[in-house]
Structure 1
């Protein structure tokens, strides 16, 4: 059967052009789908496609890092562009199909032949470009070496002295080699599951079906998911030793593990409780509260929020967001300072779910542009390391660092508020971020600082 000859004779040249357009769009979608998968795999493997590779003009570590970051950003931008093109091609294909099949009789042989022809051409183009991109990826993996590999667990040498640098054992329990090897992989390592979480997949499928307006589509989705679950098998174990015996040994020894900076620390539960108790027993920093002040602080916060809503400074949705529905008491825990003698505990207070948690987040958004306006501001440890790498210490100079003990509880609230007030009064963009005046921001901030101060310092008995 001469498809295009019959179409031209019966329905005219314009119909033939629509079929050609539909065929071309199907091929473009097939090519871009493979192109997207290829780029995503390059991103996961930290490989830059040849068309996006940049030459580093300066032979320094900092310059190579800049070029590598630029390469990674280019790969992410290409993924975004491909996704946008795919969406536009799919929309154009849908419009072309509607225009074409309005010209052809419904449920006719000619319409079926057109659909089969377009599908066949798309599948042929998809297989051809899939093989081409697979060969490209193989060549890149063989020849391309990124300038700076990420420090993933797979790149970590897990033998000898290097293993001791990653896993710090402060407990009396002697870790076995398999236990040390698994712990050294870090908290980003996920052991392969021994069985598939069928219930999670079913719940996710049902949630997706509720969002579908078409019951037929929901039925098809359920049936496809049921078929996939029936044919699926758990992945091979990525832990060589018996995980059950290993986990039972750890539980029997009453161990738990903490991440400190980039190291995993094994501790006795009793040892950690004792250290936290000794830390809270420091009367210069902490004090015992006779009762829980949460309800009193909650009433004060609600009164402030009610006035702001009445004055039109916050709307109803903002009021509902800031209203303290949760009343959790801040919980303190500690991580050991393994780089210091005696392994003292670094106190960390979990403020999530407390009465002023949402208010603190809103104030952080208002005050965040004020941070980092000086030459001495340090963003994070990486920023500090990059700055120190450029510092040369002369023979008559020494490098000195100061350790701050109980930084937050020793910060003077009134002086801090005066500094923030001065910065807010000179901030010309404050009105773009909030309707609150400087005094109203300071009132909320003083409440948060005061309540947080007492909740952090107080030990409720």
Structure 2
């Protein structure tokens, strides 16, 4: 506090008493707050105009991806707008408080010269504090701008290394213009809609990666027909079975309510209120010769959609408990970064062919049953009994039907790809790889990696022949022949 401030305070105390000095100190405190909040508001407005998010309102999410980032960015902008409005509200409130304090001081101090001293004192305090805080806020804003520029430069450097030619895979007869290719790379919805009006081409996401694939519609339909003509997997139906399945599910729920009631909230959640028919489509496997299709069934809005979600929530904690399970690519990299392949051995990658349509429903149900019976935390996350869960899961796995170009189909014997992946993962967790010596073995859903000298022996703990769903396990120079899917 300066000497002049001390002199003013001493004069106010001596001439007007302690109560008036308290009013002055309150006015001083309010003046400083106004200076700080005004700077804070200016800082946030500058951030909003520069499309910069202050660190204090940065959001984090376990969900990643382009769409998730857009949602987060939009939420951050909304939070910044709210903060600016809050600053304005706070400043207005403080100004009212200061005005009240100044009015009280004018009433208590009858000396006009002293009133001018108080007014000048408060104005100087506000100006000094404003400039002090302004410098700090400018430095903070400059750092945020610098960080954003560094991120942009880093992203541009990364983008320059990306082969954008692989973002759009054109396997159709149509020659795409530069503009059309750019539209497909960016995923602009309106332009994509216009491009999709061409009935001769079909635009699909690739099975793996972020590529967009353009196929001749005739080629796409032939590949889909080839998939659906597999009578060992799919069966044509004479009519839409939705009404029949709906009656079955309603019957199961009513039976439970009469004999073994379930909570009403779960009953309402799984009760079928929509009759949208599941639809099948194929995603091209561009990493394989001739880009075969992987069949996907979209069950959004179907009568089993909510029931499958309930089952998925129950089963999700049981997944990934096997010793050799790999959760994601990052964990896989950590496991193999220091891996050395001994002399005389080879690194072999396995690829499960048609995983979802190769696991029989009874085996999946049995695997889930074993996991549930040994799960000590089941009662903590669901009030459903094991018999409820298994009956509902059995119903979902046995209603694997869909429509394609007006024809209804049903999957005949195995697990459907449009349900939760959890039951598939639990089934494969029950299959162990048995070798004659110690070896490295890790698995993530479809793929597996192993270091082995001899051909592995795969047992049949899950009740089905695992080798039958693995493609070409042996290296070319193995005495028994074969080929390694994914390379050696």
Identify the TM-score tier after normalising by the shorter chain.
0.5 to 0.7
Per-residue deviation, 1:426? 1.8
Call closer, same or farther: CA 1:164–1:101 in 2, change over 3 Å.
Answer: closer
**Contact kept? 1:167, 1:263, Cα under 8 Å:** yes
**Per-residue deviation, residues 210-253 of structure 1 (Å, max 9, x unmatched):** xxxxxxxxxxxxxxxxxxxxxxxxxxxxxxxxx8xx99677558
Are 1:356 and 2:304 matched, yes or no?
Answer: yes
The aligned residue for residue 20 of structure 2 is 12
Are 1:133 and 2:134 matched, yes or no?
Answer: no
Distance in 2 (CA, whole Å) between partners of 1:396 and 1:36 is 64
Per-residue deviation, 1:301? 1.7
The aligned residue for residue 249 of structure 2 is 301
315, 323, 347: which one aligns with 1:367? 315
**Contact kept? 1:287, 1:459, Cα under 8 Å:** no
Distance in 1 (CA, whole Å) between partners of 2:175 and 2:273 is 46
Matches within 5 A, 1:170-319: 170-184=171-185, 186-187=186-187, 251-252=197-198, 254-260=200-206, 261-308=209-256, 314-319=262-267
Stretch of structure 1 that moved more, 321-330 or 246-255: 246-255
Call closer, same or farther: CA 1:442–1:456 in 2, change over 3 Å.
Answer: farther
Per-residue deviation, 1:396? 2.1
Superposed CA RMSD: 5.2
The aligned residue for residue 169 of structure 1 is 170
Distance in 1 (CA, whole Å) between partners of 2:311 and 2:336 is 32
Bigger Rg, structure 1 or 2: 2
Q: Secondary structure at the match of 1:401?
A: strand
**Contact kept? 1:18, 1:100, Cα under 8 Å:** no
Per-residue deviation, 1:315? 3.6
**Contact kept? 2:167, 2:211, Cα under 8 Å:** yes
Distance in 1 (CA, whole Å) between partners of 2:263 and 2:88 is 39
Are 1:398 and 2:346 matched, yes or no?
Answer: yes
Call closer, same or farther: CA 1:169–1:158 in 2, change over 3 Å.
Answer: farther
Per-residue deviation, 1:381? 4.2
Distance in 2 (CA, whole Å) between partners of 1:311 and 1:42 is 63
Per-residue deviation, 1:394? 3.4
Distance in 2 (CA, whole Å) between partners of 1:255 and 1:158 is 30
TM-score scaled by length of structure 2:
0.58
The aligned residue for residue 444 of structure 1 is 392
Q: Which stretches in structure 1 are left out of the alignment for 5+ residues?
A: 50-75, 194-242
Per-residue deviation, 1:365? 1.1
**Per-residue deviation, residues 137-168 of structure 1 (Å, max 9, x unmatched):** 455567x679x95xx68832389xx3433321
Q: Which stretches in structure 2 are left out of the alignment for 5+ residues?
A: 57-72, 108-118, 410-488
Per-residue deviation, 1:371? 0.7
Are 1:333 and 2:336 matched, yes or no?
Answer: no
362, 371, 374: which one aligns with 1:414? 362
The aligned residue for residue 474 of structure 2 is none
Distance in 2 (CA, whole Å) between partners of 1:16 and 1:306 is 75
Matches within 5 A, 1:61-76: none
**Contact kept? 2:40, 2:137, Cα under 8 Å:** no
Per-residue deviation, 1:105? 11
**Contact kept? 2:30, 2:98, Cα under 8 Å:** no
Q: Which structure has greater strand proportion?
A: 2
Distance in 1 (CA, whole Å) between partners of 2:135 and 2:370 is 65
Q: Secondary structure at the match of 2:350?
A: coil
Q: How many residues align?
A: 360
Call closer, same or farther: CA 1:367–1:299 in 2, change over 3 Å.
Answer: same
Stretch of structure 1 that moved more, 383-392 or 116-125: 116-125
Per-residue deviation, 1:437? 1.5
Per-residue deviation, 1:288? 0.6
The aligned residue for residue 155 of structure 1 is 158
Q: Secondary structure at the match of 2:357?
A: coil
Distance in 2 (CA, whole Å) between partners of 1:383 and 1:330 is 34
Per-residue deviation, 1:339? 1.5
